[in-house]
Amino acid sequence: MLNKTRIKVRGYHLDLFQHVNNARYLEFMEEGRWAFFDEFFDSNDWMQQDLVWPVVNININFKSEANFGDLLEVQTHYTKMGNRSVTMKQTIVNVQTDDIVVEADVTYVCVSKAAKAAIPFPDDFRQKVELSIASLK
C-alpha cells in the first residue's frame, strides 16, 4: 500500500532563507504517516491496544528545496519488517516539478505499554505489513 498526502507550502513553513525549514519536513512526514495509518488500520482500535509504535530512527536526505506555494506530495509505504521493528520509506515530491525534495527511512519499534519493553509484532499485524510490502514489488 502506498499512501499519498498533499501539503501546500505556507508562509509559516519558511525559514530566513525563504525556503521550507528542514524541521518542517519532519512534520510533513508525520502528517503523511498519520494519513497512511488512517488507511492501513481498519479503525482506531490499534490505539486502544497495549501496544505503541514509537519512532526510533529517522534517516533523512534533503534533495532539493521547496518554496512558498509549492504543492508537495508525501509518499509513504512500508519497506522492511523485522521481529520487533518496521521501516517505512517516505518521499516528498514537488508535484509541479516532479523533483524529489526529501527521502527518508523511518523505523518504528513495537512496544508493550504494560511491560515497557519492545516485543515481537502480533501475527495479524506482521501479516498485514508483509502483504503491504509485497504489493509494491
pLDDT in tens, 107-127: 999 999 888 899 998 888 889
Distances (CA, A) of 50 to 10, 47, 77, 99: 37, 8, 24, 40
Q: What is the pLDDT of residue 50?
A: 81
Residue 101 contacts residue 93 (beta carbons within 8 Å): yes
CATH fold for the domain made of 3-135: Thiol Ester Dehydrase; Chain A (3.10.129)
Q: What is the pLDDT of residue 3?
A: 93
For residue 52, give the nearest of 121, 111, 123, 122 by alpha carbon.
111
Where the chain has pLDDT below 50, the residues are: none
> Active-site positions?
15
Give the residue extent of every domain in the chain.
Answer: 3-135
